[in-house]
Structure 1
């Protein structure tokens, strides 16, 4: 983890800086975008990066806007430029939620809860779940009891995903045989070799496809959308998951569907104090120009208006709320949810300021422990679930 080395890696993923407004007709009215947009995203070759390139092509062709992408290989390198104001936007993963909550890798002295706001998300045909060896009789997460379950050292997002699936089945790590691996790809090697039986992943990744083609094959445990208790247990661990009918997954035949779960990827976020008009104009372009880019990259279909989760775990940017109100796609229920999320962020920000101003421990582990205790106490006092402890 760490900072991106220098501005020399800041490059245009699409074109050089000579591509400015060139007289092309605007595709939508009242769009106020800067001539150049800098942003961070996952590394080159990732799905999120590819999507940003395709959206950048749309912005170039329709609005004369150049998009420059800083590819970051980990969560800190993607979110640091956003925190410092070097870029106004990040095409992040679920770490944006961890950042807004000030937990896991963001519970240290140098971070704390971040004032992150959503511009738009992509929820496409793929899912996120436990790829289970197909030679086992695993139909639901409850069937994982006693099985060998992968745990990745230093990978909070994947491990929490696995833990959430176990919770859906009424299980914990104590009910399975935890098998530790040093990295994500190694978990799939372990499943193929018989060292483990599971690996948490996006359903369309090459490693999942490789497992499907191996002698063990692959299966995806079903998450019944009507199992309210199961979903309550899952969301108590990872509230960012949502039920999803997955049609793109390793091992699925044409026309087949897996009833599982997902969360958005990528998640386009900015800071709450980003007031340039970028957030409102960009969401307007993504919604109103959707037909122009929906087929340009895998996953772009996830930006459709009907695929936006209007009551998720991170509040929308104020400009985005204003746009949804303008087009009549905002309800009182959505506003109530938004207000509660903003209140949660405010509580976290105030608690962090009070904690760091109150002579907290110098030791990193003690600092984190003290912060997590203060955080949980403040949220519980407001009637909110801390989720992380």
Structure 2
């Protein structure tokens, strides 16, 4: 039997109840109980809710680990950023593909500027690219971002990072949140809200079951974020430093040959700094060596290929096991090492300062603002990466 997963058979399999909770299959173990791959017999990964493109990608990779490396992988899902990242930090999950919360947790920003959180030792291990943006129904009459003025626009519950992107997109069109009618809604509820008219626009990955379902019922349009006016992106670095404009094809609802520009960034697979470097290295080795077995399972699975991984912008450090892997594969450069070391130093400085900072500013009117101000005034600028190997991206 052909061991590879194609898109149709894999996505059909996701409908099975057992697949949604635990991807078990025929886990192969050695006589002593260790897996043939040398990895733990069981791992827990946290990610987005079922039906999203991100979930489907993670499930495809996890299924490969189960079927071909003997690792039983349980997927924990949540519709909020904190809900996806908290299990990693608490030790409930081993790895997380959680969204931009990995960056804000590392920095101790926003919800993480609190006594419970503070700066966290997050590490990225693999950074597949993706394209994300705002879509509308074609029957809405909305053709550009500027046309969103006065329209019903999502404000995603407990998802500060995505709300920053939603603001950056409005800024591209010369708008702010004051120019739209904000609708508080969860990420996974947007599709139904678009059908019923509760929303005029939604934020989504360009591929995935939810958005494909919407496009099958209502023609949709991805609002283009391209052009030669760099001033349209003036706020992007502050609001979402991990984002760059990126062209894509093959998105839901797009005709053959049609392209558009929206936000391109990685939702990386992350773990904590104290995860075994040997384990992380082996996770990447298994994923790389078995890439052909899952690369066609979902529209975005091919972005997990070694030549696709985004090593820049690097906004948090890579794990030691990842650095070793990239060095072996010839994808790690002196410029990346400088940036990586600068981020490790940034982490050390934030960690050293945090207890005294919190003691002084816990009762301030806005500890979040005070923390950002402290960092701006006390932390050195990060060096740019000027020698990144070329990489290609697709939707």
Q: Considering the TM-score relative to the shorter chain, is it more than 0.5? A: yes
Contact kept, 8 Å, 1:151 with 1:180, in 2: the verdict is yes
TM-score, normalised to structure 2's length? 0.78
Q: Tell me which residue corresponds to 1:130.
A: 134
Whether the 8 Å contact between 1:348 and 1:375 is mirrored in structure 2 is: no
> Of 123, 146, 163, which aligns to 1:159?
163
Q: Secondary structure of the equivalent of 2:88? A: helix
Q: Distance in 1 between matches of 2:296 and 2:210?
A: 24
* Contact kept? 2:250, 2:256, Cα under 8 Å: no
Q: 2:327 aligns with which of 322, 325, 328?
A: 325
Q: Following the alignment from structure 2 to structure 1, what is the Cα–Cα distance between the partners of residues 23 and 260?
A: 34
| Corresponding residue SS for 1:245 | strand
Aligned to 2:11: none
Preserved contact between residue 42 and residue 92 of structure 1 (Cα < 8 Å): yes
Q: Is 2:239 the counterpart of 1:197?
A: no
Q: Residues 326-341 of structure 1: matches in 2 within 5 Å? A: 326-341=328-343
The structural deviation recorded for 1:198 is: 2.0
Structure 1 pair 340–167 and aligned structure 2 pair: CA distance change class (3 A): farther
Aligned to 1:112: 118
Q: Does 1:370 align with 2:380?
A: no
Q: What is the aligned partner in structure 2 of residue 349 from structure 1?
A: 351
Question: What's the CA shift for 1:165?
Answer: 0.5
Which residue of the partner structure matches residue 42 of structure 2? 36
- C-alpha contact (below 8 Å) 2:82/2:158 kept by paired residues: no
Structure 2's unaligned 5+ residue stretches are: 1-19, 383-395
The correspondence for 1:81, drawn from 83, 87, 90, is: 87
2:283 aligns with 282
Deviation at 1:117, TM superposition (A): 0.6
Contact kept, 8 Å, 2:109 with 2:371, in 1: the verdict is no
Q: Give, in angstroms, the shift of residue 315 of structure 1.
A: 1.8
State the SS of the aligned residue for 1:277: helix
Give 1:252 deviation, angstroms: 0.7
User: Alpha-carbon deviation of 1:383?
Assistant: 4.4
- Tell me how far apart the structure 2 counterparts of residues 22 and 257 of structure 1 sit (CA, whole Å): 52
Q: Residue 67 of structure 1: which of 31, 50, 73 is its match? A: 73
Aligned pair count reads 360
Give CA-to-partner distance per residue, 1:76-134, whole Å, 9 cap, x none.
Answer: 3432332133433223222222222222332232112211111112325xx21111342
The TM-score with structure 1 as length reference comes to: 0.79
**Residue in 1 that maps onto 2:25:** 15
**Distance 1:60-1:251 versus aligned 2 partners, 3 A rule:** closer
Q: Describe the SS at the equivalent of 1:128.
A: strand
